[in-house]
Amino acid sequence: MGKMVSRILQQKEAIRLVFAADRSTSHLIPTWQDIDVLESIDKALSPLHELTDALSGEKYITVSAVIPMIKLLKSKNLKVDPADSQLTRSLKNLIKDDLSRRYVDDEVTSPLDITSVLDPRFKVKYVRKVDDVLARVKEEGANIVHHCQEQQHQSTQTSSPAVSVTEQSEPPRKKKNLGTLFKIYEDEEEGSRFVSPEQIFDTELERYLSLPKLDSEEEILPWWKTYSSQYPHISQLAQKYLCVCYEFCI
């Protein structure tokens, strides 16, 4: 609708000439009151054009920009201007109220917040309940780490050849020197330091969040393709939430 209103305003003189050329349509010529109404509508809706087009992309990530876009709309694009007409103010407030009602349920906002965290351009900048969202990210990330560890363990067991009892033999006993004894102690001490999946993912997430944010005009899929080896578990989470375009690129 916004584009249609803008187009009518751009062509208002041509529209007047066309309707004036035929007496049967002269009553359709827009009055100054009609133009005032259209201009008020256009002022409220025109800021939404570019944002709507940007969110209509098919070959780049858009879902992670939903929450940042909403905040941008409320704080800037739909901010009431003293020069606005009463109709423009009413329209802006109605749009903001509608956005607030649409994005109030945690079942809707939580996945959107997570996608923003996984977008290196935004991370936690626009997330509302940062602690709650990061807690969910860490929970899912720890599950990914645990799954990867299980797969590695199963792979190791499968690849290790079975040794029959008859093939086992007592290895020749060697005298241990001082260095060997310390090496055994150090290996045992290192093996006793169990690192939980939660700790592994928390460390990876902390490194990711500490990175400088990606420029807002950069594409995030090539970024994840480059950094997936450095952040293997977070990249799997990104693949889950940014699935369609992530698969398209990777």
Is 198 a residue whose pLDDT tops 50?
yes
At 65-122, the pLDDT tens digits run 888 888 888 888 888 888 889 999 999 999 888 888 888 888 888 889 999 999 999 9
Q: What is the number of other CB atoms lying within 10 angstroms of the CB of residue 134?
A: 19
Is 248 a residue whose pLDDT tops 60?
no
Is 160 a residue whose pLDDT tops 80?
no
- pLDDT band of residue 185 (cuts 50, 70, 90) is low
Is 249 a residue whose pLDDT tops 70?
no
User: What would the two tokens of residue 196 be?
Assistant: 């939980």
Enumerate helices (H) and strands (E) in the chain, giving the number of each: 12, 0
At 99-110, the pLDDT tens digits run 888 888 888 888
Which pTM does this prediction carry? 0.69
User: What would the two tokens of residue 66 be?
Assistant: 């939903």
Rounded to an integer, what distance in angstroms lies between the CA atom of residue 137 and that of residue 114?
Answer: 7
* pLDDT at res. 245: 47
Dihedral Cα 177, 182, 185, 189, nearest 10 deg: -160
**CB-count burial class (<10 Å; 0-12, 13-18, 19+) for 64:** buried
